[in-house]
A and B are shown apart, each in its own frame.
Chain A
Amino acid sequence: MPDRSVLVLPARLESLPEFMDLVRQFFVSHRFSPEKIGKIQLATEEALVNIFRYAYPEEGGPAELICRKEGEDRFLLEIIDQGLPFNPLTRPDPDITVDLEHRKIGGLGILLLKTLVEEVYYERIADRNRLTLVVHKARNPLC
């Protein structure tokens, strides 16, 4: 079972299933529970879809996903693009307390991303956006 898996694909919606497969295979091989893998996939989807939609307004470009084991119970997902600088973590959270009529349609993706993984970091390095998601594995096997 690899401690590091990498996938680079064009930043477009059609690439999403392959990225999701990589996340599933990597975390299944590290014995994460299906529930936890679902949360990791969701956070990863939200980060990737943002890149697909907004990172390359003109010509398109690559999206890179790296899954790696960093410690006994600590795993990282790095999501990298070469598009416009964008830090999703500085966006204000949507107001989830207002009624349907006043509900804004956008913004829930980033909120889900931040809630479903243990830690999230953003860096802009060498003309790249890098979002790092940290996930912890419960010590109890298959949790």
Chain B
Amino acid sequence: MEIQKRIEGDLLRVAVKGRLDAVTAPQFDKNLAAAVGQGEKEVLFDFSGLEYISSAGLRSLLVLSKRLKTFPTELLFSGLKEPVKEVFRISGFFSIFKIIDSPPAASDRT
């Protein structure tokens, strides 16, 4: 798994590539815990490089979103590939998270 972060004003962009599973989820948690809560208003996950997510990854997202709610920071997801979409669908994540088809271009947000 690879995580790339970029701050654009009030927005924190997080691109996640590879596999978010029981082995990599702790690394994801640690990486994100240190990055959020810095005054950003939105965290936008770019999942266009995410090939695989298991319940360990879903757990990380649930825990993170519950924590961000207190700031409050909004959590957005974009670029979901079919396998990840299916896992989100089975888990009912479409009703609790904002999921957009493709990440808005940086220029649209400034």
Instruction: Mark A residues whose CB is within 8 Å of B.
Output: 13-14, 16-17, 35, 38-39, 41-42, 45-46, 49, 52, 96-97, 99-101, 103, 105-106, 108-109, 111-112, 115-116
- DSSP majority for the B interface? helix
14 contacts between A and B (CB under 8 A): A13-B23, A42-B87, A45-B54, A49-B56, A52-B22, A99-B96, A103-B66, A105-B59, A105-B63, A108-B91, A109-B55, A112-B87, A112-B91, A115-B90
The reply to whether A106 and B56 contact each other, CB–CB distance below 8 Å, is: no
- Ordered nearest first, which 4 A-B pairs have the shortest CB separation? A96-B92, A109-B55, A108-B55, A100-B96
Q: Which single member of A16, A96, A103, A112 contacts B22 (CB below 8 Å)?
A: A16
Which A residues are CB-close (under 8 A) to B95? 96-97, 99
Residues of B40-77 whose CB lies within 8 A of A: 51-52, 54-56, 58-59, 62-63, 65-66, 69
Judge whether B82 is part of the interface by a CB distance below 8 angstroms: yes
| A100-B66, A103-B96 as given contacts; A112 in contact with B54, CB under 8 Å | yes
The reply to whether A38 and B51 contact each other, CB–CB distance below 8 Å, is: yes
Number of interchain pairs (Cβ within 8 Å): 67
A96-B95, A103-B66 are known contacts; what are 10 more A-B pairs with Cβ within 8 Å?
A16-B22, A39-B86, A45-B21, A49-B56, A97-B92, A100-B96, A100-B97, A105-B62, A109-B54, A111-B90
Judge whether B9 is part of the interface by a CB distance below 8 angstroms: no
Which B residues are CB-close (under 8 A) to A14? 23
The reply to whether A103 and B62 contact each other, CB–CB distance below 8 Å, is: yes
| A13-B22, A16-B23, A46-B54 as given contacts; A106 in contact with B90, CB under 8 Å | no
Instruction: Mark B residues whose CB is within 8 Å of A.
Output: 21-23, 51-52, 54-56, 58-59, 62-63, 65-66, 69, 82-83, 86-87, 90-92, 95-97
| A38-B52, A100-B66, A100-B96 as given contacts; A106 in contact with B87, CB under 8 Å | no
Which A residues are CB-close (under 8 A) to B58? 108
CB-based nearest A residue for B91: A108
Minimum distance in angstroms from B59 CB to a CB of chain A: 6
CB-based nearest A residue for B56: A49
The reply to whether B59 and A111 contact each other, CB–CB distance below 8 Å, is: no
